[in-house]
Amino acid sequence: MESLLQAIDLLVPQMISWRRYLHQHPELSYYEQQTAAFVAQHLEQWGLEVRTHVGGHGVVARLKGNGNGSTVALRADMDALPIQDEKTCEYASKNKGIMHACGHDAHTSTLLGVAKVMSEHPEVLKGDVVFIFQPAEEQSPGGAINMIKEGALDGVDYVYGIHLWTPFPVGSAYSKPGPMMAAADEFEIVVKGKGGHGGLPHQTIDSIVIASQVVGNLQTIVSRSVSPTEPCVVSVGSFHSGSSFNVIAESAALNGTVRTYDPELRLDVKDRMERIVGQTCEMYGAEYSFDYKMGYPPVVNDEGEANRFLRAGEKVVPVKPSPLIMAGEDFAYYLHERKGCFMFVGAGNPEQGIIHPHHHPKFDIDESSMRDAARLFIAMVMDCQNG
């Protein structure tokens, strides 16, 4: 393992260069053509067996090991978000309204680095290593399902993923056995009232007022219907209505997300939401539509593989048990199919101004976190194949 770690340390400047190039050229979910081509070109140059267009724009590469040990898959996501980059730096996004605001550019570059150093030292591998570069993590139904359907995990015994995470300080890593990230559902509510003149509200059914009541009422689900000890989030993320200052809008649209861990609570929240929306609208004489999409399931780590993280990860970066994270991840689907572990590597650094949360227009990472992530991937693979 030491030869791989030394090689990664030497490759860090190149990994940063890849990351900054990808940061300048982000692509949205399901449109990662150029990113996938960039990845595949490098993997082919290093002599790996490469498959492209797996489950969309996914790339899967296999590196043959020197023995009959376990086959381990490592996954990185490639897609960006519909956010305007507001950073002032030399590597800011060149694509208007599109930005790597969650670190996927760094995930891709980190895994490329691991693939390169392993391809230069295949003799230390006792089994094969499969590198999964996944599209469309940010947008449900996500890229993982189709990649699995098209064979990304064929012949794989274990699967690991890493997310660089700015809420955690650089120089640290986190994971835990069992549930770690929440189920991530989406909803859309349309309140249908009766439009009219802003000066004659009594002749209308004001969709904005009613939808505002819906937003407030939905917040009682978590505050008054769910046990305080049970993780649950109901968030309205967008509210769109109206086009003029003196017109009462005919309709108002709300979009948002629900995050839960418990399967029964997940369904109960959905049912309770629709009752609240329906009864609020009925009280004011409005109609409504309610569309609820079940998104990614919770990320549930295998106990043995999470313990491997705590044991093997400590050799390369300080590790800690992770708190529950209410963000969602379609890495959950890989863990439905194979034993594995999802891990967070700290990427925040207030001293460098790396303080903005994920999905923020000024999001950035401490790029030294890529070294920690690459070393953690290597430690997990080597411990697994030598265990």
Task: Give 34-57 as a 3 state SS string.
Answer: HHHHHHHHHHHHCCCEEEEEECCC
Q: Active-site residue 137, yes or no? A: yes
Strands 299-301 and 196-197: unpaired
Nearest to 269 by CA among 142, 180, 184: 184
Nearest to 299 by CA among 347, 261, 270, 337: 261
Quote the CA–CA distance of 358 and 375 in Å, as a whole number: 23
Sign of the four-CA dihedral 360, 364, 58, 337 = negative
Among 85, 137, 206, 364, the one annotated catalytic: 137
Quote the CA–CA distance of 342 and 340 in Å, as a whole number: 7
3-state secondary structure of 88: coil
Among 27, 32, 77, 79, the one annotated catalytic: 79
Nearest to 170 by CA among 378, 382, 380, 376: 376
The answer for residues whose C-beta is within 8 angstroms of residue 267's C-beta and 6 or more apart is none
Quote the CA–CA distance of 115 and 147 in Å, as a whole number: 19
Q: Where are the beta strands (DSSP E) in 55-102?
A: 58-63, 72-77
Q: Which residues are catalytic?
A: 79, 137
